[in-house]
């Protein structure tokens, strides 16, 4: 038995660009310095904590109500931007891997901190290849807590030790490991190096790699 749990942003789709543009628009409007480099710290971080990182020392200038309004403003801008996502927005190898998993009889889930995960999945046209979708509105504790991934494993009908998590964020890698899952990290080893395997992109992941990781898990 096996299951694969995919993070969404940076793994199946590059919605990080849309998040960046929405945060940049907010920062510009309220006069807080922000750029692509500062945006790197927001990977895998939930909305309010992203705002606090964006505001930095400026956070004290704003009330809690204003911060909530800023989060709503950023999200409204993001939702406008992601309406343009199409199946062409799938990252290289993502559609092929989901199709190969389906052919191999290995169920797949998306587990994303984003409360917009469902509309993004629908726009990408991959709903029929997924057994479960879990989003940030369904759990109390954000990554690196394993709650999101444990819920996804349960929806796949798999024990955590039989699941492979695919993640591009440090907090997500930590969440998968904390949940007792095997983890494939995508990107810079400085960020995802704690994972059992690190690859450059989703197109380097195969069904054989996933099976191999789970077999390793039995012998560890
Ligand atoms: Mg991600």
Distance 193 CA to ligand 1 centre (A): 15
Specify the DSSP element, H or E, that contains 197: strand 197-199
Q: How far, in Å, CA of 177 to CA of 194, rounded?
A: 9
Alpha helices in the chain (DSSP H): 16-30, 36-39, 47-55, 64-82, 94-104, 117-124, 147-156, 170-178, 189-192, 207-219
Q: Where in the chain is the domain with CATH 3.40.50.1000?
A: 3-14+87-219
Q: State in Å: Cα 6 to ligand 1 middle.
A: 9
* 52 close to 164: Cβ distance less than 8 angstroms: no
Is 50 in a helix, a strand, or coil? helix
Q: What is the pLDDT of residue 152?
A: 98
Mean local confidence (pLDDT), 51-62: 96
pLDDT tens digit sequence for 177-218: 999 999 999 999 999 999 999 999 999 999 999 999 999 755
Ligand 1 center from residue 133 Cα (angstroms)? 15
CB 185 within 8 A of CB 199: yes
At residue 56, what are phi and psi to the nearest 5 degrees?
A: 55, -130
- CATH code linked to domain 3-14+87-219: 3.40.50.1000
Instruction: Tell me the CA–centroid distance for residue 132 and ligand 1, in Å.
Output: 17
Tokens of 104: 């191999």
Residues 18-47 pLDDT 10s: 999 999 999 999 999 999 999 999 987 889
pTM: 0.83
User: Token pair for residue 4?
Assistant: 């694969």
Q: Where in the chain is the domain with CATH 1.10.150.240?
A: 16-82
**CATH of the domain spanning 16-82, picked from 1.10.150.240, 1.20.200.10, 3.40.50.740, 1.20.140.90:** 1.10.150.240
Give the separation between CA 112 and CA 89, rounded to whole angstroms: 17
Q: Give the number of other CB atoms < 10 A from CB of residue 49.
A: 12
Q: Which two tokens stand for residue 26?
A: 């907010």
E strand or H helix that includes residue 79: helix 64-82
Three-class secondary structure of residue 146 per DSSP: coil
pLDDT digits (tens, 9 = 90+) for 71-128: 999 999 999 998 889 999 999 999 999 999 999 999 999 999 888 899 899 999 999 9
Catalytic site positions: 7, 9
pLDDT of residue 12: 96
Predicted local distance difference test score (pLDDT) of residue 219:
44
């Amino acid at each position: 038995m096996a299951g694969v749990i995919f993070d969404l942003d940076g793994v199946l789709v590059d919605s990080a660009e849309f998040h960046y543009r929405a945060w940049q628009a907010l920062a510009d409007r309220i006069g807080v310095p922000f750029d692509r480099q500062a945006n790197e710290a927001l990977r895998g971080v939930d909305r309010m904590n992203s705002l606090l990182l964006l505001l930095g020392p400026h956070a004290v200038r704003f009330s809690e109500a204003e911060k909530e309004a800023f989060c709503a403003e950023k999200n409204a801008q993001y939702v406008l931007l992601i309406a343009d996502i199409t199946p062409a927005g799938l990252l290289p190898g993502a559609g092929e891997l989901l199709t190969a998993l389906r052919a191999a009889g290995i169920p797949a889930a998306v587990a994303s901190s984003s409360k917009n995960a469902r509309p993004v999945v629908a726009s990408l046209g991959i709903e029929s290849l997924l057994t479960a979708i879990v989003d940030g509105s369904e759990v109390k504790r954000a990554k690196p807590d394993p709650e999101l991934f444990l819920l996804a494993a349960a929806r796949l009908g798999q024990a955590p030790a039989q699941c492979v998590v695919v993640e591009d964020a440090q907090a997500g890698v930590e969440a998968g490991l904390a949940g007792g899952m095997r983890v494939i990290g995508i990107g810079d080893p400085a960020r995802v190096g704690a994972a059992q395997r690190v690859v450059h992109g989703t197109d380097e992941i195969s069904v054989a790699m996933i099976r191999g990781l789970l077999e390793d898990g039995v012998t560890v």
